């Protein structure tokens, strides 16, 4: 379980080896991040960043500073 972190941490999820069994899971996870976070990498170092790599495709998001709780 991911516990509360200080703003500015990075979470990278990478899956090596493709079986197809995880497609639905990663689609749902990507949709969740698309809805709740800003897409792309932030230029601000104190911004919390997320990356998801699956099937050799990397998607990135960040949590805008106004959404972060200190």
The confidence score (pLDDT) of residue 5 equals 64
Q: Report whether 22 contacts 13 (CB < 8 A).
A: no
End-to-end CA distance of the chain: 20
pLDDT tens column, 1-24: 456 667 778 889 998 877 788 889
**By C-alpha distance, which of 36, 64, 66 is closest to 49?**
64
Q: Report whether 29 contacts 52 (CB < 8 A).
A: yes
What are the residue boundaries of the structural domains of the chain, listed by start?
10-67
Beta bridge partners of 13: 52
pLDDT tens column, 24-59: 988 999 999 999 899 998 887 778 899 999 888 999
């Amino acid at each position: 379980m991911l516990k509360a972190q200080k703003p500015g941490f990075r979470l990278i999820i990478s899956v090596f080896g493709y079986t197809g069994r995880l497609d639905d899971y990663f689609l749902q996870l990507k949709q969740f991040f698309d809805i709740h976070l800003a897409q792309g990498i932030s230029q601000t170092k104190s911004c919390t960043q997320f990356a998801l790599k699956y099937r050799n495709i990397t998607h990135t998001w960040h949590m805008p500073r106004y959404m972060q709780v200190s």
